[in-house]
Amino acid sequence: MAIFKGAGVAIITPFTEDNKVNYDELGRMIDYQIEQGTDAIIICGTTGESSTLSHEEHDECIRFAIEKTNKRVPVIAGTGSNSTEEAIRLSTHAQEAGADALLVVTPYYNKATQKGLIEYYTKVANSVTIPIIMYNVPSRTGCNITPQTAVHLAQTVENIVAIKEASGNISQVAQLASLANGCIDIYSGNDDQIVPLLALGGIGVISVLSNIQPKLAHDIVMTYLEGNIEESRRLQLESISLVDALFCEVNPIPVKTAVRLMGWNAGGLRSPLCEMEESNYERLKVELEKRKLI
């Protein structure tokens, strides 16, 4: 059974003026997302600036999101690391806190071999009993999960059940879907490729766009799954210029800026992330104004 179908939000982590996690605003954001039709909350992912959260903050953000969501939708905790032992620690804590599933990114910087990836995911999965979504984003980690490796893990490790595919390589996703023959659920990790992945058998998206337009991201997926492919395609194409603006600088700089422009107390970005270049800021603002979001 799938962890979720539809659009899960890779939710940002709001900060206070003194650069601490703003739990009040995070709670408001979670409520808003669920009210707008988001199908899952993904906490402490890349978009949540997980790499600059302390261990204590990471654990507390997961605990808080689980408590605030209160079973209304699944909570998926980002628990990957470039250290297998740290990934195990984060994963076991998230399970103990009540997470419904884990999103485990490939080890970054280490550039593990496929053999190393199999060992990493197997060890992490064996440390917990809840489902695991592998996260393949080679542009950020320097490490690619091949289709053969993904299928091997799904077939040999019981609780490895899905993959967030953000390679951007549609040919690779097609090969994955062909080899898997249904043994692994595929989620798009790119908001501009939701419909193409659904066409290859995907069941949803883990979305940055959902921070800005949760209903739109949800509708792109669900109209497709309900059989209205033409409407899904229309919504996907309608979203492209906004998605491009949300990725005109490294994620999550633009999306956090957009959320602030929309009136949320999202706070700043933790170094080494920085504020947007003025030209990109204006481009993003135009897209939000065009959609009457600000």
Please state, in angstroms and as integers, the Cα–Cα distance from residue 105 to each residue in 31, 46, 48, following that order.
26, 9, 13
**Of 120, 135, 187, 224, which is the active-site residue?**
135
3-state helix/strand/coil string of 64-78: HHHHHHCCCCCEEEE
Point out which residues pair with 187 in neighbouring strands. Answer: 164, 204
Burial status of residue 267 (CB atoms within 10 A of its CB: 0-12, 13-18, 19 or more): buried
Contact (Cβ atoms closer than 8 angstroms) between residue 285 and residue 277: no
Q: Which of 186, 192, 60, 203 is nearest to 135 (CA)?
A: 186
**Of 121, 164, 224, 256, which is the active-site residue?**
164
Q: Cα separation of 243 and 209, whole Å?
A: 7
Residue 92: helix, strand or coil by DSSP?
helix
Question: Helices in 104-213 by DSSP H: which ranges?
Answer: 114-126, 138-141, 147-156, 170-180, 194-199
Q: Cα separation of 28 and 10, whole Å?
A: 15
To the query of whether residue 164 is one of the catalytic residues in this protein, the response is yes
Contact (Cβ atoms closer than 8 angstroms) between residue 163 and residue 184: yes
To the query of whether residue 187 is one of the catalytic residues in this protein, the response is no
> What is the number of residues in the chain?
294
Q: Phi and psi at residue 109, in whole multiples of 5°? A: 75, -45
Instruction: Provide the annotated active-site residues.
Output: 135, 164
